[in-house]
Amino acid sequence: MPMEHTPDDASTYGLLGASADKRQVHRAVKAVPPSIFPGAFCRVLPDLFGGDEAMCVISHSDSAGTKCIVGYLAWRETGEAAALAGLATDAAVMNLDDVCCAGARGPFVLSNTIARNYRLVDGEAIKAVIEGYLAFAERMEKWGVRVEMAGGETEDLGDIVRTLTVGATLTVRCRRDEIVDNSRIRPGDAIIGVSSTGKAAWEDEENSGISSNGLTLARHRLLHRSYLEKYPEIADPGLGGGLAYTGPYRLEDPLPGSESTVGEAVLTPTRTYAPFILALLGELGQAVHGLVHLTGGGQAKNLGFGKGIHYVKAEMFEVPPVFEAVRTASEPHIPWREMYRVFNMGHRLEVMVPPKYARAVMETAAGFGLDARVVGRCEENEGGGNRVTVRTPEGDESYTA
């Protein structure tokens, strides 16, 4: 008889039922055959469609995660199904930017999956999500990124899904000589971080930078318990210890240090870097030694890429208001070490290049309205393995695999 699952760690994120390092998942997938490019950001397969040895295929799945619950809350509170449309962008970007970091240029084929509790989520809500996918694909087309919708599946799973989930699978055929193999990251490479905040050229509004990672921690820390009392479906009923919805805020409250409300900041659609990445690869090609999408694992995501590399990040972006609010909304405050392990904390994309190319990377980013800076450098990690050291507002934090 299976025993009750115990989290890997005693961090707040772990106690809430989420894992930043995904140790159990990594152990579970060890039996999966290796990628033909083990160092690439995504698993790369041979060209199963055309049998061309010069080509390869990437098929990747991801979702908007528990950000869906915040969208659900906003919809139930306002009655506006449009509050759910941004979840489609979240799910699409979590796939698109991952495969772009592996060097994929497109065209990309996207299939979506929506699972819902039929009693609570109606057809108008589903329509809003699907229209969100179509709007995202149309916007990307204008910026040279072709995303074709291949349909999908809507599942009524009330016995499993308490509100709704929004996920997608993206498939692309690539040239092998264009794959970005992160095993090429070397000591001496510069680390250029590309901001997750501000307003990119393809965005209509300022982006808070929160993305679609760590939302389990963010919503429970920020949002008031009255939401749970009104909508008990928004939390795991087995979650104890006074951890659920301990925050002081309602969705319409101002976010401290920002011109946005809490709801706007948490639901801001995940920024895609795809137009920038495609332009950068077209300009620098294999001079780009590595691309890392800082999603699950936050600033420690680099641990899985390169060999014997110490990623030293000493010139980080200022902490965006949404992350400071998450850290300090409830007592005790979340330690900086956990914050940088869960969230991107200001930049969600890193480009590793020889230092002579750093300026070119930053200039290309600026052309798309993206703030970029040299946040650090790659050094040799004595003793093997990888290490990440991040300078936080209260000193350095170091992470190892």
pLDDT over 80 at 241, yes or no:
no
What is the model's pLDDT at position 369?
Answer: 98
State yes or no: pLDDT of 72 exceeds 80: yes
- Name which of 27, 47, 29 is nearest 37 in CA terms: 47
Q: How many CB atoms lie within 10 A of CB 396?
A: 12
| Separation CA 179–CA 221 (nearest Å) | 39
DSSP 8-state class, residue 263 = H
pLDDT of residue 25: 62
Respond yes or no on whether the N-terminal peptide bond of residue 269 is cis (omega within 30° of 0): no
Residue percentage of the chain with pLDDT more than 70: 94
Q: Who wins on pLDDT, 6 or 125?
A: 125
End-to-end alpha-carbon separation of the chain, Å? 32
Average pLDDT, stretch 372-384?
95
Place of tokens 């990672």: 213
pLDDT at 19 over 90: no
Tell me the average pLDDT across 267-279: 98
Mean pLDDT, residues 62-66: 97
CA–centroid distance for 47 within its chain: 27
Question: Residue 14: which pLDDT band, with cuts at 50, 70 and 90?
Answer: confident
Q: How far is CA 132 from CA 71, 102, 115, 140, 193, in A?
A: 13, 25, 16, 12, 28
- pLDDT digits over 135-148, tens only? 999 999 999 999 99
Q: Give yes or no for residue 210 having a pLDDT over 60.
A: yes
pLDDT at 5 over 60: no
In this prediction, residues 271-295 reach a mean pLDDT of 98
* Average pLDDT of span 335-346: 97
Average pLDDT over residues 358-386: 96
Instruction: Decide which of 29 and 397 is more confident.
Output: 397
- pTM over 0.85, yes/no: yes
pLDDT beyond 70 at 10 = no
**Res. 22: pLDDT tops 60:** no
Question: Sorting pLDDT into bands at 50, 70 and 90, what band is 201?
Answer: very high
pLDDT of residue 1: 37
pLDDT at 293: 98
C-alpha 265/C-alpha 318 separation (Å) is 17
| Token reading at 92 | 């699409």
Q: Report how far residue 266's alpha carbon sits from residue 136's, in angstroms, rounded to the nearest whole number.
A: 19
The average pLDDT across 225-252 equals 93
The reported pLDDT for the residue numbered 3 is: 43
The number of angstroms, rounded, from the C-alpha of 77 to the middle of its chain's C-alpha atoms is 26
In this prediction, residue 26 carries a pLDDT of 56
**Mind listing the pLDDT tens digit for each residue in 291-323?**
999 999 999 999 999 999 999 999 999 999 999
d(CA 104, CA 293): 14
Q: What is the mean pLDDT of the chain?
A: 94
Q: What is the pLDDT of residue 4?
A: 46
Residues 97 and 292: their CA atoms lie apart, in Å, by 10
Q: Name all domains of the chain by residue range, CATH numbers in brackets.
A: 34-179 (3.30.1330.10), 180-400 (3.90.650.10)
